[in-house]
Structure 1
């Protein structure tokens, strides 16, 4: 079905760039992308609310400058909050309600990581037995 306006599919379906611009997955990736953000979030999931220095020590190899930048970005995106917590009574970084909603996603990523490790181990052991 072609006419001078293009194919029917082109008329009905938005272009890829238009679809990508409004894609919820792309929005999520923009907010949590990067190694450090994911590790900071992991630390808050596993360790609960933490002060800056606690986070600095719980996220291996991150510099204070990088941690500050990532915490600001996570705060600006609404995933992390900074303030007094009932458990600490002092200011600490903690997951917001929105940030806590990522827990099932982190569990799935962890399960995926386990499957990858098992696959690598089984392939590695196979390679060791079959030179």
Structure 2
């Protein structure tokens, strides 16, 4: 059911008992291509609010940047998804008691500023549950 242990961990700690309805790996068509293959995206989790509207679109990664994070192709899919469905993809990295979350593709950086040990600046927020409104980041 899950593509990685990180996905399974995120599901067990944050999605399963959240009280929200959700889908695992739903398929979205980003661009129909006539005779060509359509461009699609399958986020890891889609969480719905109490009225059945999409609240969160999660893509679980091992890191926010670098080799195990979102590669350029993934960032392009996130951008296309946001343009088509008007919902940002939240890239998450599960940790022991919380998860790091970053939204890619925004016109300005709105996430909290953190500095890594290598002196490289990263932007992300720390979340402890799914009870937040991603619209406040826009």
TM-score by length of 2: 0.26
Higher helix share: 1
Determine which structure has more spread, i.e. the larger CA radius of gyration.
Answer: 1
Higher strand share: 2
TM-score by length of 1: 0.27
